[in-house]
Amino acid sequence: MMDTGRTPLPGIADIRAAAARLEGLIVNTGLIESEFLNEKYGARILFKPENLQRTGSFKIRGAYNKISSLPDEQRRNGVVAFSSGNHAQGVARTAQLFGIKAVIAMPSDAPFSKVDNVRRMGAEVIPFDRFGADRMAVVAPYRERGMALVPPFDDPAIIAGQGTIGLEVLEDARQKSVHIDAVIVPCGGGGMIGGISLAMKDGSPDSEIWAAEPENFDDMRRSLEAGRRMSNLPGHASICDAILTAEPGEFTFEINRHTLAGGIAVSDDATIEAMRDLASALKLVVEPGGAVGLAALGSGQVDFAGKCVVVVLSGGNVDLGSYAKIIAKS
Amino acid sequence: MMDTGRTPLPGIADIRAAAARLEGLIVNTGLIESEFLNEKYGARILFKPENLQRTGSFKIRGAYNKISSLPDEQRRNGVVAFSSGNHAQGVARTAQLFGIKAVIAMPSDAPFSKVDNVRRMGAEVIPFDRFGADRMAVVAPYRERGMALVPPFDDPAIIAGQGTIGLEVLEDARQKSVHIDAVIVPCGGGGMIGGISLAMKDGSPDSEIWAAEPENFDDMRRSLEAGRRMSNLPGHASICDAILTAEPGEFTFEINRHTLAGGIAVSDDATIEAMRDLASALKLVVEPGGAVGLAALGSGQVDFAGKCVVVVLSGGNVDLGSYAKIIAKS
């Protein structure tokens, strides 16, 4: 671990240790490519399809690494998390694999299908009012019983777990004998891009790492420019529900400020076009927040022409009805 | 090659030779799995996602093997094929890889997107009237110039190329240390299932091979029962456009009558449910004809409970608008 003088940040050794823990439990999602998309976008694009990961997103990597890092006696008490989305599934499936209890706090207006998914993995779902005063009070009784809180991104073990994506990318690039000029990663709280950037800076130091964010939720981009953590302004909406966070995490920003080349903000319309391209050319169902990397590549804000670019597709957990509406637009 | 006394049928050596030719040119599509689908269908299902294959379907395997098997001087003259779908793309892309001319004869009412796809691969598209008297007259001028006709399924080199899917399945099953009880394969003319069944009978002789077909287009199932080639009756329709053929091929039936356990016919409604399951649980866009294997497993006509079943997803080339309508149904 790097020592910042405060709390230790994860380093490449932690990511390698995470990869050893995850071996055989997660899917090595490989890298896939489309001749049509290479032509259309004018770059060689290697997609990292984490929508094909167990639970339909990358989140199980961090959740599993975190929970397996807990001391045995603490883990036996079970775990608790806040999430209505991909993190909830990652935590619930991991708890099921360990045979321990998971309690997931979800907003009381969460879609039934998401509640049902998590329950099918054996987790207990407790509702909370998303506009209520004190979310932590909801999980307090569980934490008092010794259940560990599994945070969604701002935690060294979570970051190290997501960083295993970077190790897979490096190994596949080596096997394909390609040099990676850039990696574009969907960015919410910044845990996944933080972990990936640590792995890439170790194995391919001159690869540029770019954060892709929805317009008006480009807190990482603005924070990198300002040199300090900036929050998103209220009053905006985006279809990219999986990556709408208020601001970068403390740990994640401390990593990303050193490792990232910058951020690229994309419109929902650009994300929709990317989702359609991913369905028609790659045959992949990708959720809005998972498709922003391709939208960022296509936006022209950064010149990737002729480069070899890895685009991370972070997940595919989208309600089929909404998905059908999105891809029906032309 | 097996000798039937007439024309030589392909054997395992031909499939191995095809795999050597295809090495590095096609994607090893692996095997993928979903805990949700295993629970829902009551079997361990290993999916072979050929929708992720180059050109979006398995067809490039056979097309490439056939074209690379042509004598050099003949191949230089180019190739010609009839197809508006997956075979057209397989032939066009292969010709592009060899730097030779491809002429694809398509019905004059083929959707523009399909014509455009093939043209983007550098092929020349010539229209023909699907209700006209003599299709062969359309391609006669090209064949007179020495261009080889690449048939869609009833050809030993095509069958051997598709059989490489079986070799990949056997190798992946070995690495996962699983025994495959059954393989369910979408079946049109029977080339893919013929090749796969030859490979499986060599490497895992007691694995049952089942053909999945649309209702009213279950010519292979009925032919297997009758012991001779049976044609489909006219006047029916199905959404499974990729696998609507009139009757089994001569070569393919001669193989399949010895290697298959039988056929399972499925309704379009069952295929739609399978497509929805594949989108929501596996995050894969699969075309109707590519999803009939899962529909067959779910139909209950054969008892696969608790078995380990490989389900081949043969392609994902479906118009996005049609696809959106299909998965929007609930």
Distance separating alpha carbons of residues B125 and A118, to the nearest angstrom:
50
Q: Judge: B54–A35 Cβ closer than 8 Å, yes or no.
A: yes
Reply yes or no on whether the pLDDT at B5 is more than 60.
no
Q: Judge: B328–A330 Cβ closer than 8 Å, yes or no.
A: no
Q: B209: pLDDT confidence band, cut at 50, 70 and 90?
A: very high
Element (H, E) at A197: helix A191-203
3-state secondary structure of A47: strand
Distance separating alpha carbons of residues A330 and A44, to the nearest angstrom:
25
| Positions of B marked active-site | 59, 314
Find chain A residues with C-beta within 8 A of B32's C-beta: 27, 52
Distance separating alpha carbons of residues A237 and A326, to the nearest angstrom:
16
What phi and psi values does residue B325 have, to the nearest 5 degrees?
A: -65, -40
Residues in chain B whose beta carbon is closer than 8 A to a beta carbon of chain A?
A: 27, 30, 32, 35-36, 39, 51-52, 54, 56, 93, 120, 276, 279-286, 316, 320-321, 323-325, 327-328, 330
Distance separating alpha carbons of residues A31 and A26, to the nearest angstrom:
15
Find chain A residues with C-beta within 8 A of B31's C-beta: none
Q: What is the pLDDT of residue A5?
A: 53
Distance separating alpha carbons of residues B134 and A162, to the nearest angstrom:
60
Query: CB-CB: which of B285, B328, B330 is closest to A279?
Result: B285
* Chain B residue closest in CA terms to A120: B36
Distance separating alpha carbons of residues A259 and A255, to the nearest angstrom:
6
* Chain A residue closest in CA terms to B287: A283
Q: Calculate mean pLDDT across residues B265-292.
A: 98
What are the residues facing A186 on neighbouring strands?
Answer: A212
Query: CB-CB: which of B282, B316, B324 is closest to A324?
Result: B324
In this structure, how many other beta carbons lie within 10 angstroms of the beta carbon of residue A230? 18
3-state secondary structure of A248: coil
| Positions of A marked active-site | 59, 314
Q: Judge: B32–A39 Cβ closer than 8 Å, yes or no.
A: no
- Asked if A208 contacts A181 with a C-beta cutoff of 8 angstroms, the reply is yes
Starting from the edge strand earliest in sequence, which strands make up the sheet with B124-128, in order?
B124-128, B102-107, B79-82, B148-149
Q: What is the pLDDT of residue A133?
A: 65
Q: What is the pLDDT of residue B113?
A: 80
What phi and psi values does residue B314 have, to the nearest 5 degrees?
A: -80, -20
Residue type, B147: M
Query: CB-CB: which of A30, A283, A327 is closest to B56?
Result: A283
Nearest Cα of chain B lies from the Cα of A285 at a distance, in angstroms, of 5
Residues in chain A whose beta carbon is closer than 8 A to a beta carbon of chain B?
A: 27, 30, 32, 35-36, 39, 51-52, 54, 56, 93, 120, 276, 279-286, 316, 320-321, 323-325, 327-328, 330
Reply yes or no on whether the pLDDT at B249 is more than 70.
yes
Distance separating alpha carbons of residues B52 and A165, to the nearest angstrom:
20
Query: CB-CB: which of A30, A276, A285 is closest to B284?
Result: A285
Of A74, A45, A79, A40, which Cα lies nearest the Cα of A62? A79
Comparison of pLDDT for B70 and B84, the residue scoring more: B70
ipTM rounded to 2 decimals? 0.93
Residue type, B263: G
Hey, what are B165's tokens? Answer: 């899917």
Find chain B residues with C-beta within 8 A of A320's C-beta: 276, 279-280, 327-328, 330
Distance separating alpha carbons of residues B217 and A310, to the nearest angstrom:
43
Hey, what are B148's tokens? Answer: 């080889």
User: CA distances (Å), B312 to each of B50, B58, B182, B289, in order?
Assistant: 7, 10, 11, 11
What phi and psi values does residue A246 have, to the nearest 5 degrees?
A: -75, -35
Comparison of pLDDT for B108 and B29, the residue scoring more: B29
Reply yes or no on whether the pLDDT at B330 is more than 70.
no
Q: Over its length of 330 residues, how does chain A's per-residue pLDDT go in tens digits? A: 554 455 689 999 999 999 999 999 999 999 999 999 999 999 999 999 999 999 999 999 999 999 999 999 999 999 999 998 899 999 999 999 999 999 999 988 888 888 889 999 999 999 988 777 688 899 999 999 999 999 999 999 999 999 999 999 999 999 999 999 999 999 999 999 999 999 999 999 999 999 999 999 999 999 999 999 999 999 999 999 999 999 999 999 999 999 999 999 999 999 999 999 999 999 999 999 999 999 999 999 999 999 999 999 999 999 999 999 999 975
